[in-house]
């Protein structure tokens, strides 16, 4: 842990949230297309959307 710094897990979560939201924007909310852009399974995208409270319109 770093004193008064950002934690790795927090940084990773924030990156994933923004990364997935941008892929959803580029794919016009289509989860399958966003997953293809990201190179991950659509179920993973859906799970991360729930975890990070990302909406399709993000």
Domain count, the chain: 1
User: Could you give the CA distance from residue 51 to residue 27 in angstroms, rounded to a whole number?
Assistant: 20
User: Could you give the CA distance from residue 33 to residue 12 in angstroms, rounded to a whole number?
Assistant: 22
In a domain, 22, yes or no: yes
Residue reference for tokens 């319109």: 57
Q: pTM (2 decimals)? A: 0.83
**pLDDT means over runs of 10, the chain (58 residues):** 74 97 97 98 98 87
Give the range of the structural domain holding residue 42, as residue numbers without chain letter.
8-52
Contact assessment for residue 34 and residue 45, using Cβ atoms and an 8 Å cutoff: yes
- Residues contacting residue 46 through CB under 8 Å, at least 6 positions apart: 31
Q: What is residue 3's predicted lDDT score, i.e. its pLDDT?
A: 61
CATH of residue 22? 1.10.10.60
């Amino acid at each position: 842990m770093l004193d008064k710094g950002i934690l790795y897990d927090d940084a990773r979560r924030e990156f994933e949230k923004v990364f997935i939201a941008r892929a959803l924007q580029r794919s016009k909310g289509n989860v399958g297309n966003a997953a293809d852009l990201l190179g991950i399974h659509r179920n993973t995208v859906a799970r991360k959307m729930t975890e990070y409270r990302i909406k399709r319109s993000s």
